[in-house]
Amino acid sequence: MCFRVQQNITVSEAQSIVDEFISNTGGYWPPFEMLAAIFEEAGELSKMLQLIEGSRAQKERPNFEKLEEEVGDVFFALICLANAYKISLAEALIKTVEKYKKRDFEKYEKYPSKSSP
Amino acid sequence: MCFRVQQNITVSEAQSIVDEFISNTGGYWPPFEMLAAIFEEAGELSKMLQLIEGSRAQKERPNFEKLEEEVGDVFFALICLANAYKISLAEALIKTVEKYKKRDFEKYEKYPSKSSP
Amino acid sequence: MCFRVQQNITVSEAQSIVDEFISNTGGYWPPFEMLAAIFEEAGELSKMLQLIEGSRAQKERPNFEKLEEEVGDVFFALICLANAYKISLAEALIKTVEKYKKRDFEKYEKYPSKSSP
Amino acid sequence: MCFRVQQNITVSEAQSIVDEFISNTGGYWPPFEMLAAIFEEAGELSKMLQLIEGSRAQKERPNFEKLEEEVGDVFFALICLANAYKISLAEALIKTVEKYKKRDFEKYEKYPSKSSP
């Protein structure tokens, strides 16, 4: 997969960018408000996806730019929570992928016929 | 802010890691199922945060490792949706931060007394 | 639509049942924790719906009983928040339906060709 | 708890009101879109709660009417999903309350000292 990225930042730098912004605007909110922000933004992402993909969507002119915006807002809100708990998103992601790989591997081991071509 | 990262990957690489995993396991789900996955994982993050920070939480032994895991799972689910729409999370984030900075700037311009020390 | 209901309670009685239970177990949580509970339960509903309707669901044996359970849990969590703010869910619902009817009516007025057979 | 209700409808009637409205407007959406609607509305509820209770909320003039509206919208979206699966919300709620009572009872049985005064 190839992304045309102008912004070739590391995940850690992404977290620092958010941290710097938050530091300049009063600091992180309390935990449950950061969570509420994640759900607010994810709700807007949901609304946008319905406009693009939903049964009654006007599919001739999907607004992908607005979808990108909502994805960015959710990412920002998630980084806030991660930053407040000093969680490295890069490490968290790697661990999640490892977990999923292990889960799949065990599934294949158990039902080997499914993994064969 | 300083993260002790062993995994110094770019945001773009993070998206590629997920893309490779998904490619090997049958491809991306339909849009609303990817969205449902985000909410499922965010719901588990919510549960974990309640166990750590909630009124009835056993705060003496907060499980930060499990919180990291849930954050990683949400990040993974968000990357899936972004990947499926070829959205660069790095660019999306930068735009979100720019938007918030602009919003704050306009607020300060409008009510300058608030921004002065 | 016909529901085989053994429990023919009013919406107001449903709210009272939850209120009585909460009163006996320490009272309502702070606002953002009640919200977090709604999202936790809605996340479990999302997980269950994926198991029933998702691309990789084992559709031969959908567990509708578990879906009912998750719907009940979300309803409970929503009632908690409504109760804490003395919101009548019956009145709130009627207002929502009125709002949607008005919205649809205006849409039809604007584009009358769409509403005609 | 006493609600000043003008609308003394049963939970079953509430479901029928929504069913009638949906029948007149094209029928229920596919499952994952109904779920997406729940999360969209719950996201708006989250936004409203932040405006009322959040750290930076203008608490002098909380907009409880708008909160009622958002609660009504979530209730509507939840009823849609319940209706589409012929789930009785009244029965689902009673089962949830029974489950929670049983859970609490077992907790008390296990740690009797906690339940005594």
Q: Calculate mean pLDDT across residues D17-32.
A: 96
Contact D35 B32 (CB under 8 A): yes
How close is the nearest chain C Cα to the Cα of B68, in Å? 17
Which among A88, A94, A80 is positioned nearest to B2, based on CA atoms? A88
Partners of C39 on chain A (C-beta within 8 Å) are 35, 39
List, for residues B59-105, the tens digit of each pLDDT value. Answer: 667 789 999 999 999 999 999 999 999 999 999 999 999 999 998 87
CB-CB contact of D3 with C86 (8 Å): yes
Closest Cβ–Cβ partner in D37, D40, D54 for A33: D54
Lowest mean pLDDT among B49-63, B79-93, C8-22, C103-117: C103-117
Query: Which ipTM value was assigned to this complex?
Result: 0.88
Distances (CA, A) of C37 to A40, B5, B50: 15, 32, 8
Partners of C20 on chain D (C-beta within 8 Å) are 1
Instruction: Determine how many CB atoms are found less than 10 A away from the CB of residue B60.
Output: 5
C7: left (phi over 0), alpha (psi -120 to 50) or beta: beta
Partners of D37 on chain A (C-beta within 8 Å) are 46, 50
Q: How far apart are CA A23 and CA A17, in angstroms?
A: 10
Report the residue of chain D nearest A38, measured CA to CA: D43
Partners of B38 on chain A (C-beta within 8 Å) are 42, 45, 74
pLDDT over threshold 60, residue C69:
yes
Contact B33 C42 (CB under 8 A): no
CB-CB contact of B46 with C47 (8 Å): no
List, for residues C14-55, the tens digit of each pLDDT value. Answer: 999 999 999 999 899 999 999 999 999 999 999 999 999 998
Partners of A93 on chain B (C-beta within 8 Å) are 7, 14, 17-18, 72, 75-76, 79
Partners of B6 on chain A (C-beta within 8 Å) are 91
How close is the nearest chain C Cα to the Cα of B41, in Å? 7
Report the residue of chain B nearest A20, measured CA to CA: B1
Q: Give partners of D (≥3 CB pairs < 8 A).
A: A, B, C
Q: How far apart are CA A46 and CA B4, in angstroms?
A: 34
Closest Cβ–Cβ partner in C40, C47, C55 for B30: C55
What does pLDDT average to over chain D?
A: 88
How close is the nearest chain A Cα to the Cα of C75, in Å? 18
Q: Which residues of D touch B (CB under 8 A)?
A: 30, 32-33, 35-36, 39
C99: left (phi over 0), alpha (psi -120 to 50) or beta: alpha
Contact C46 B33 (CB under 8 A): no
Interface test with A, best of C39, C45, C100, C103 (most A CBs within 10 A): C39
> Residue C104 gets which letter from DSSP?
H
What's residue B56's pLDDT? 74
How close is the nearest chain D Cα to the Cα of C33, in Å? 11
Q: Give partners of A (≥3 CB pairs < 8 A).
A: B, C, D
Partners of D30 on chain B (C-beta within 8 Å) are 32
What's residue D39's pLDDT? 98
Distances (CA, A) of C52 to A20, B92, C47, C61, D40: 43, 33, 9, 8, 21
What's residue C43's pLDDT? 98
Partners of B26 on chain C (C-beta within 8 Å) are 56
What's residue C57's pLDDT? 76
How close is the nearest chain A Cα to the Cα of D51, in Å? 11
CB-CB contact of D50 with A33 (8 Å): yes
- The separation between CA D30 and the C-alpha centre of its own chain, rounded to angstroms, equals 20
What's residue D111's pLDDT? 53
Q: Calculate mean pLDDT across residues D68-93.
A: 98
List, for residues A26-76, the tens digit of each pLDDT value. Answer: 899 999 999 999 999 999 999 999 999 998 776 667 789 999 999 999 999
**What is the value of pTM for the model shown?**
0.89
**Residue D57, class by beta-carbon neighbours within 10 Å (0-12 exposed, 13-18 middle, 19+ buried)?**
middle
